[in-house]
Structure 1
Amino acid sequence: MKNSLIAITGVVAVLSVPAFAEDMPAMKMEAKTMAGMPMKQAAEQAPTAQATGTVKAIDSQKQVVTLAHGAVPALQWPPMTMGFKATAEQLKGVKVGDHVAFEFRADGMDATIVSIAPMQQ
């Protein structure tokens, strides 16, 4: 009997949490903010970082520039070679083999160039 009472009390407590949470304004506001946020706005809020690297490949059709870059301490990234999304306008100023300085916006391991320019050697 005692175990049944404990089990029933536990079930009631678990089932009442969602109802209780609906009455909490902070939780409602957070849910509405994230759900209503346009994808572009969410991407614009991703952190930005700066790095230098060497252009390894440019795919104008896919609008991707592959860069072998050094460590990015701001994001705790080690040196690596990876593709970055870039606009056709950004890709006009660089060619394979260029050593570049660039700023990018990172969302996990997806990265988008904000600016890129060849460095003088």
Structure 2
Amino acid sequence: MKLTLIAVASTVVALSFSALAEDMPGMKMDGMESKQMTEETKQAPVANADGTIKAIDTVKHTVTISHGAVPAVRWPPMTMVFSVTQDKLTGLTAGDRVSFSFLIEGGRATIVSIQK
């Protein structure tokens, strides 16, 4: 009996939230300013780090780097894979110590610049 009451109560609560959400389109938005996207807010921030190249995959266009903490994006030290264009890898091999800049877009970290 308790399970039936809990199920009914849960359904009523869920439907109440649904009905409340349907009223939202009728909300008055007078006096509320919309945030305009500027060039500054469209671009992902570039972060800088130092690390050691662990592997280079020229087929997948990735480089695996063991890097220190990156405060700009609140990352602890770790080893991870970055997307990279082939031209940026010229002259680099596994084991090289590098300084690099990257940006994060759509959950993917892409190398912007990298040097020994």
Match of 1:82 in 2: 80
- For the 8 Å contact 1:102–1:115, the answer to whether it is kept is yes
Match of 1:54 among 52, 55, 60: 52
Give the CA deviation at 1:107.
3.4
CA distance in 2, matches of 1:112, 1:74: 15
Match of 2:112 in 1: 114
Alpha-carbon spacing, 1:93–1:22, altered in 2? closer, same or farther (3 Å):
farther
Alpha-carbon spacing, 1:12–1:62, altered in 2? closer, same or farther (3 Å):
closer
- Taking only the aligned residue pairs, the percentage that are identical comes to 46
Q: Unpaired runs of 5+ in structure 2?
A: 1-17
Give the CA deviation at 1:108.
6.6
| TM, length-normalised to structure 1 | 0.66
| TM, length-normalised to structure 2 | 0.68
Superposition RMSD in Å: 3.0
Match of 1:104 among 102, 105, 109: 102
CA distance in 2, matches of 1:13, 1:82: 44
* Pairing 1:64–2:62 present: yes
More helix by share: 1
- After the TM superposition, which of the residue ranges 56-65 and 15-24 deviates more from structure 2? 15-24
Number of positions where the alignment pairs a residue of Structure 1 with one of Structure 2: 97
